[in-house]
Amino acid sequence: MSRAAELPRTVTRRPDFTGRALVPLALFFLLALAFPFLPLGARAEYLLQIAFFTVVAGVLALSWDILARSGQVSLAHAAFYGLGAYGFALLVKVMPWFLAMPLAALIAALLSLILGAVTMRLSGMYFAIATLAFTEVVRTIIQNLPESVAGGANGLLVPALLGGNARAQYFLAVAVLLLTALVSLAVRFTRLHHAFAAIRQGEETARVLGVSIVRYKLLAFFISSFLAALGGVLFAGKTFFINPLETFSLANSIAPLTTSIFGGLYTTLGPILGATVLRVAEEILHNSIKNGYLVVYGLVLMLSILWLPRGLMGLLRKGKHGGDL
Is 11 in a helix, a strand, or coil? coil
Residue ranges of the alpha helices (H) in 119-165? 124-144, 147-150
pTM for the full predicted model: 0.90
Cα 126 from Cα 237, distance rounded (Å): 34
> Per this entry, what is the length of the chain?
325
Task: Report yes or no: 246 and 239 within 8 Å, Cβ to Cβ.
Answer: no
Cα 58 from Cα 263, distance rounded (Å): 10
Cα 40 from Cα 283, distance rounded (Å): 16
End-to-end CA distance of the chain: 26
Residue partners of 201: CB distance under 8 A and separation at least 6: 9, 10, 11, 71
Cα 25 from Cα 14, distance rounded (Å): 18
Cα 77 from Cα 256, distance rounded (Å): 8
Q: How does pLDDT run along the chain (325 residues), one tens digit per residue?
A: 444 444 555 455 555 556 677 889 999 999 999 999 999 888 899 999 999 999 999 999 999 999 999 999 999 999 999 999 999 999 999 999 999 999 999 999 999 999 999 988 888 889 999 999 999 999 999 999 988 888 888 899 999 999 999 999 999 999 999 999 999 999 998 989 999 999 998 888 888 888 999 999 999 999 999 999 999 999 999 999 999 999 999 999 999 999 999 999 999 999 999 999 999 998 888 888 877 777 887 888 788 878 887 889 988 876 555 455 6
